Amino acid sequence: MEPLVHVRDLKVRFVSRDSTVHAVNGVDFDLAPRETLCILGESGSGKSVTLRSLMRLNPPRLTKMTGTVRVGGHDLVTTSERSLADIRGSVVSMIFQEPMTALDPVFTIGMQIRETIRRHETISREDAERRALELLELVQIPSAKRRLAAYPHELSGGLRQRAMIAIALSCRPKLLLADEPTTALDATVQIQILLLLRKLQQDMGMGVIFVTHDLGVAAEIADRVAVMYAGRFIEEGPVSALMRDPLHPYAQGLLGATVHGGVRGKRLTTIPGAPPNLAQVPTGCAFAPRCAYVEPACLAAVPAARSPIPGRAARCIRVPDHAVSTAA
Amino acid sequence: MIVLTQTTEILRQLPDVGGPAQPLLTIRGLTKHFPLRSGLLGRSTGVVQAVDDISFDVRKGETLGLVGESGCGKSTTSRLIMALLEPTSGEVIFDGQAVGYGGLTLKEYRRQVQMVFQDSYSSLNPRLTVRDSIAFAPGVHGVARRSAVTRADELLEAVGLDPAQFGPRYPHELSGGQRQRINIARALALQPRLLILDEPVSALDKSVEAQVLNLLLDLKDQFGLTYLFISHDLNVVQYVSDRVLVMYLGRVAEIGPVDTIYNGAAHPYTAALLDSRPSMDPDRRRLEPPLQGDPPNPVNPPSGCRFRTRCLHAEAVCADKAPPLAPAGPEHLAACLMVLPGSGHSQAPKLAA
Ligand SMILES: Nc1ncnc2c1ncn2[C@@H]1O[C@H](COP(=O)(O)OP(=O)(O)O)[C@@H](O)[C@H]1O
Ligand SMILES: Nc1ncnc2c1ncn2[C@@H]1O[C@H](COP(=O)(O)OP(=O)(O)O)[C@@H](O)[C@H]1O
Ligand SMILES: [Mg+2]
Ligand SMILES: [Mg+2]
């Protein structure tokens, strides 16, 4: 069966007159239908740029995108702007950290959902209205009927997030992209939205790619996790296994630095140094300058993905390569 | 405790006044209501009850964690304590002395109480080098330029930055983590006794957050400091705090030793807040959100207990009576009628005869 998402050697550069940023430097992965992948990484590692590539949302003039990106059978690298407009919304859609980037402040929530549906389907006004109401109920907005007439600024933060989700789901996409949608929310609201997304994913049978810098969020929602560093997936695997026993030294460092209930009274482990400047692509392992286990071979070439167990892989030469390598 | 070299008298930490048993900071009935204005005439159309009659102590040498969701009044509390805002009512007492009005002057007080903000960028002057930023306050307090600069370099060293490399730089040439280290160095320049840290690591990446938290714990010992550590991050507060104060909609919900609160919260809001944390275990995920909806608006807070509109245990009496802080265990207070003997709530302890 063809995967829902098929990405090979995705590279994204931003080129302007006086600078080049190598934001994504060769990302490979597949996503099965109904699967949830979390992309976990620190700021600037290329999470959002990767996600936006799956809808070709990076600014066209500046962006050089190469490699293979197939979503629901569509080739996102070569397809025309015209067919992109059809794909966006009905095959793949996206939610963001800040709902106001996706909501239009001068139209009511109901109007925005109706218009999104009617852009993709020939449907009567009444049917669109009914679907809009169903969607607000689906995302568990209380007094949904009344809220159809509300403007975005009239809603609380949590309700706005739900309204944005309703719009993103209005054309029943097969793939939902989520860029830190709960990062700005308070704890009691964040867990509501996470559980809602988990339920919607199951009920609608969607694939989800969820970008986060928060390990706890990944633990609540992911089937698989990909850890991103300097524009590459440096480790990928099932969420439980990866959290229990990360393979890559960067993933180990990131997990060790995460403050959680069990670490009280212990000194936090830290990672020395800072991520590389992305003006050039490092020729070897991008983490080598910060790595406690570095050896000359690390600098010679970018480590290939090595898979010690089926389903897990890391780009580190110290990781044994046993399983017949699937994509990582 | 570090004794810095070449510092003049004014840069020594001021001595303890009331002894170890006297709280370093006492907050009594602190209240801040912001008027809401609208229309051309700016007529007042109500008030935001940002902080409403809160009282607590910060003990000498402890880290008191102040936690709560956004808008509950944490930053307003910190600005009131720093005297950056005029309170509607209430008082701030530092080591037994009232602040202002015949007590400690603001200048004396601010030497001993310093603050670090979340936004590392806006709190540094973009036109001053790092070294000059740190040396600025001691200069204002009459320290000669040369001693102030020497002192700045010692502090850069103390926060883990090479003075030769970082001293001449400007804020925009630094990463967020480096800027936060500079802010911490600057806050230490007057040898304060109390640091108020308002979300000091909330804007940082996880690996940098860990570095800054380690640094803050080291500096606390080296410089003999007391911390009021404000954060919305329950894990970070648990990690750094000796005691924890939980705020909800401008009021204190609960205060007590960190392990008491995290292992057995007495206030239903604290319990729900703690249960809202992601599980960190994919095999034991959360199944139900502990609370529905967002926190209500502090413009029109619910009568009585402010949490009652979201509380599973709310009864009619909760709308009538604002719960006072009542003992819930050793060193442990909670503002909930279920804790207050004879409050009228069906789950309250009976009054002793
Ligand atoms: N439109 C753009 N033009 C130039 N550089 C960009 C653009 N978008 C992102 N970048 C850069 O690409 C890198 C990766 O960014 P991003 O994917 O947003 O990181 P994150 O992992 O924090 O989401 C960063 O260095 C960022 O500054
Ligand atoms: N200068 C101000 N004028 C009016 N309202 C304010 C002002 N500062 C804060 N508030 C309001 O007071 C409440 C508490 O804010 P704040 O203390 O910043 O909360 P926190 O730091 O816990 O997020 C919020 O509702 C906020 O909108
Ligand atoms: Mg991003
Ligand atoms: Mg605040």
Structure-token match 């080591």, residue found: B95
Please count the other Cβ atoms lying within 10 Å of the Cβ belonging to residue A122. 6
**Residue A78 beta carbon below 6 angstroms from any ligand 1 atom:** no
Phi, psi of A129 (to 5 degrees): -60, -45
Q: What is the DSSP letter of A37?
A: E
Strand partners, B94: B25, B97
Contact residues, chain B, for A189 at CB < 8 Å: 69, 294
Alpha-carbon gap, residue B156 to A184, rounded angstroms: 32
Assign 3-state DSSP to chain A and report helix, strand, coil percentages, each to 5: 35, 20, 45
Report whether pLDDT(B6) > 50.
no
Q: Round the CA-based radius of gyration of chain B to a whole number and report it.
A: 22
* A14 Cα to the center of ligand 1, angstroms: 9
- 8 A C-beta contact, residue A284 and residue A301: yes
State which residue of chain A sits closest to B290, comparing Cα positions.
Answer: A188
Q: Is B242 on the interface with A (CB under 8 A)?
A: no
Contact residues, chain A, for B280 at CB < 8 Å: 215-216, 219, 243, 260-261
State which residue of chain B sits closest to A225, comparing Cα positions.
Answer: B282
Phi-psi region of A172 (alpha: psi -120 to 50; beta: other; left: phi over 0): left
Name the residue type at position B209: E
Report whether pLDDT(B314) > 80.
yes
Mean model confidence pLDDT for chain A: 94
Contact residues for B336 (Cβ-Cβ < 8 A; gap 6+)? B253, B254, B266, B267, B268, B305, B323, B326
| Tens-place pLDDT, residues B188-238 | 999 999 999 999 999 999 989 999 999 999 999 999 999 999 999 999 999
Residue B10 pLDDT grade (very low, low, confident, very high; cuts 50, 70, 90): low
Alpha-carbon gap, residue B115 to B194, rounded angstroms: 8
Percentage of residues in chain B having pLDDT higher than 90? 82
Alpha-carbon gap, residue A271 to A243, rounded angstroms: 17
Q: Is A192 on the interface with B (CB under 8 A)?
A: yes
Nearest Cα to B182, choosing from B239, B228, B231, B116? B116
The sheet carrying A5-16 orders its strands as A19-31, A5-16, A63-71, A74-75
Question: Mean pLDDT over residues B306-313, rounded?
Answer: 96
Instruction: Give residue B309's pLDDT.
Output: 96
Contact residues, chain B, for A191 at CB < 8 Å: 276-278, 286, 289-290
Query: What is the 3-state secondary structure of chain B?
Result: CCCCCCCCHHHCCCCCCCCCCCCCEEEEEEEEEEEEEECCCCEEEEEEEEEEEEEEEECCCCEEEEECCCCCCHHHHHHHHCCCCCCCEEEEEECCEEECCCCECHHHHHHHEEEECCCCCCCCCCCCCHHHHHHHHHHHCCCCHHHHHHHHHHHHHHCCCCHHHHCCCCHHHCCHHHHHHHHHHHHHCCCCCEEEEECCCCCCCHHHHHHHHHHHHHHHHHHCCEEEEEECCHHHHHHHCCEEEEEECCEEEEEEEHHHHHHCCCCHHHHHHHHCCCCCCCCCCCCCCCCCCCCCCCCCCCCCCCCHHHCCCCCHHHHHCCCCCEEEECCEEECCCCCCCCCCCCCCCCCCC
Question: Mean pLDDT over residues B5-26, rounded?
Answer: 79
- 8 A C-beta contact, residue B131 and residue B153: yes
Contact residues for B130 (Cβ-Cβ < 8 A; gap 6+)? B156, B161, B166, B167, B168, B169, B170, B171, B174, B182
Alpha-carbon gap, residue B262 to B243, rounded angstroms: 10
Nearest CB neighbour to A187, from listed B175, B238, B273: B273
Phi, psi of A269 (to 5 degrees): -80, 145
- In chain A the beta strands, taken as DSSP E runs, fall at 5-16, 19-31, 36-40, 63-71, 74-75, 92-95, 175-179, 207-212, 224-229, 232-238, 313-314
Instruction: Give residue A264's pLDDT.
Output: 85
State which residue of chain B sits closest to A224, comparing Cα positions.
Answer: B282
Instruction: Give residue B183's pLDDT.
Output: 95
Contact residues, chain A, for B235 at CB < 8 Å: 216, 259-261
**Residue A44 beta carbon below 6 angstroms from any ligand 1 atom:** yes
* A75 Cα to the center of ligand 1, angstroms: 23
* A156 Cα to the center of ligand 2, angstroms: 15
Contact residues, chain A, for B160 at CB < 8 Å: none
User: What's the distance, CA B52 to chain centroid?
Assistant: 16
* Cβ–Cβ below 8 Å for B206 and A195: no
What is the number of the ligand 2 atom nearest to the C-alpha of B232? 22
**Of B334 and B36, which is predicted with more confidence?**
B334
Nearest CA to ligand 1 atom 26: A44
Structure-token match 């009054």, residue found: B351
User: What's the distance, CA B150 to chain centroid?
Assistant: 30
Q: Is B285 exposed, middle or buried (0-12, 13-18, 19+ CB in 10 A)?
A: middle
**Residue B165 beta carbon below 6 angstroms from any ligand 2 atom:** no
Distance in Å, alpha carbon of A188 to nearest chain B alpha carbon: 5
Name the residue type at position B62: E
Nearest CA to ligand 1 atom 3: A14
Residue from A11, A49, A55, A177 whose mutation best tests the ligand 1 pocket (most atoms within 8 A of CB) = A49
Give the ligand with the smallest distance to the CA of A59.
1
* Cα dihedral A310, A316, A317, A318 in deg (nearest 10): -80
Three-state secondary-structure class, residue A254: helix
Give the largest CA-CA distance in chain A.
Answer: 67
Mean model confidence pLDDT for chain B: 92
* A49 Cα to the center of ligand 2, angstroms: 34
Window 274-303 of B: residues touching A by CB (8 A cutoff) are: 276-283, 285-295
Size of interface A-B (CB pairs under 8 A): 117
Residue B312 pLDDT grade (very low, low, confident, very high; cuts 50, 70, 90): very high
- Which residues are within 5 Å of ligand 3 (an ion), measured at CB? A 48
The residues spanned by each domain of chain B are: 6-19+26-36+46-241, 246-334
- 8 A C-beta contact, residue B237 and residue B85: no
Alpha-carbon gap, residue B275 to B255, rounded angstroms: 18
Phi-psi region of B217 (alpha: psi -120 to 50; beta: other; left: phi over 0): alpha
Contact residues, chain A, for B217 at CB < 8 Å: 267
DSSP string over A164-206: HHHHHTTT--SEEEEESTTTTS-HHHHHHHHHHHHHHHHHHT-
| Tens-place pLDDT, residues B327-339 | 999 999 999 999 9
Instruction: Give residue A328's pLDDT.
Output: 46
Residue B172 pLDDT grade (very low, low, confident, very high; cuts 50, 70, 90): very high
* Cβ–Cβ below 8 Å for A192 and B289: yes
Alpha-carbon gap, residue B68 to B230, rounded angstroms: 9
Sites in chain A below the pLDDT cut of 50: 325, 327-328
Instruction: Give residue B121's pLDDT.
Output: 82
CATH number of this structure's domain B6-19+26-36+46-241: 3.40.50.300
| Tens-place pLDDT, residues A185-224 | 999 999 999 999 999 999 999 999 999 999 999 999 999 9
Report whether pLDDT(B1) > 90.
no
Q: At what angle do helices A157-168 and A109-120 cross, to 10 degrees?
A: 10
- CA distances to A113, B136, B188 from A169, in Å: 9, 54, 51
* Cβ–Cβ below 8 Å for A190 and B276: yes
Please count the other Cβ atoms lying within 10 Å of the Cβ belonging to residue B56. 21
* A12 Cα to the center of ligand 1, angstroms: 10
Question: Mean pLDDT over residues B119-142, rounded?
Answer: 91
Nearest CB neighbour to A274, from listed B175, B281, B291: B175
Residue B122 pLDDT grade (very low, low, confident, very high; cuts 50, 70, 90): confident
- CA distances to A30, A33, A207, B232 from A327, in Å: 7, 16, 18, 39
